[in-house]
Amino acid sequence: MTPRILGLHHVTATVDEAQADLDLCVGTLGLRLVKTTVNFDNHHVYHFYYGDEHGTPGTIWTTFPYKGHGVAVGRKGAGQVVTTSFSVPHGALAFWRARLAHAGVAATDVEERFGETGVAFADESGLEFELVASARDPRHPWTVDDIDGSAAIRGLHSVTMLVREAGPTLEFLASLGWQEVARDGPRIRVAVHGGGPGHTIDVLVDPQRPPALNGLGTVHHVAMGIGGAEEQRALRQDLLARGVRVTDIRDRCYFTSIYFREPGGVLFEVATVTPGFAIDEPLAALGTALKLPAWEEASRADIERGLPAITVPRQRT
Ligand code: ZN
């Protein structure tokens, strides 16, 4: 059996303040908060998952708001995902320029790239995002009262990962199924499983760029989706056989994961599409209560006391 990467699964970043993150992702961008939980490696820090109605792999953006925990501001650089792009419908950019301006978020136009245009903006932590207008994204969006289907985010479009040298990274990506589909100067686009939004990574090459430092305002890792546990085990064995240092299989409750670095230094995760976010609360209630993994329930009172108070912006009328 050939292990098969399906596309992007999620992108995870370290951000500053929990409330500012919710206000941007739910209030301004109109993503659905599909899970409120804690960092499984530090239960005094929230872990927010945003996505479409179900939190479908390929639509998921996740954050660890580390304000007050002594984490320094990170540095963008080589060996890191430097931009996360979401997909919006063709023709929706005027709506988003106006909406971002209304929310006090400065936005700039993205020059046409591989036939698509977009707008770029940053969050309060300094994370860089784009909304890319695509005429070829059939995914059904999560809509809210003031963002209808003609403008709503469809999910992840792509990530841009910065490396110093193209060759080893492209070769490694190809071994996972990501094939080069386009090239424009230092930017090389790879795609998997048919390509298009949610199935695209841009490799940006800059030999002079200093290495990245993880911290506030930086992406921690990008996760790719794989069908199930058996394929994940097979991929792990394959990576080990090739000498790649890969973690054991970690239980993330909503998927299981393995982690490893590509030759350019970017941290990759491969996560299963199952069981998904409805495993511990009903679909209609996703994200509304603090969910903890079974092994943390005994500490719930202590965990709740240590987390900052938050107000989730209204998600739907
Ligand atoms: Zn992850």
Q: What is the DSSP string of 18-73?
A: HHHHHIIIIIIT--EEEEEEEETTEEEEEEEEEESTT--TTSEEEEEE-TTTTPPB
Instruction: Judge whether 165 lies within some domain.
Output: yes
Centroid of ligand 1 to alpha carbon of 18 (angstroms):
18
pLDDT band at residue 314 under the 50/70/90 scheme: confident
Instruction: Judge whether 181 lies within some domain.
Output: yes
Count how many domains the chain has: 1
Instruction: Judge whether 251 lies within some domain.
Output: yes
Centroid of ligand 1 to alpha carbon of 170 (angstroms):
22
Give the structural domain span for 146.
Answer: 5-306
pLDDT at 315: 72
Centroid of ligand 1 to alpha carbon of 91 (angstroms):
31
Cα 180 versus chain centre, distance: 21
Instruction: Judge whether 315 lies within some domain.
Output: no
Centroid of ligand 1 to alpha carbon of 14 (angstroms):
11
Centroid of ligand 1 to alpha carbon of 81 (angstroms):
13
**Coil vs helix vs strand at 234:** helix
Instruction: Judge whether 28 lies within some domain.
Output: yes
Mind listing the pLDDT tens digit for each residue in 3-47?
A: 589 999 999 999 999 999 999 999 999 999 999 999 998 999 999
**Residue 76 backbone phi and psi in degrees, to 5:** -75, 140
Centroid of ligand 1 to alpha carbon of 222 (angstroms):
7
Q: What is the CATH number of the domain that holds 250?
A: 3.10.180.10
Mind listing the pLDDT tens digit for each residue in 104-128?
A: 999 999 999 999 999 999 999 999 9
What's the CA gap between 83 and 70, in Å, rounded?
24
Instruction: Judge whether 230 lies within some domain.
Output: yes
Centroid of ligand 1 to alpha carbon of 17 (angstroms):
19
Centroid of ligand 1 to alpha carbon of 95 (angstroms):
31
Q: 0.85 cut: is pTM over it?
A: yes
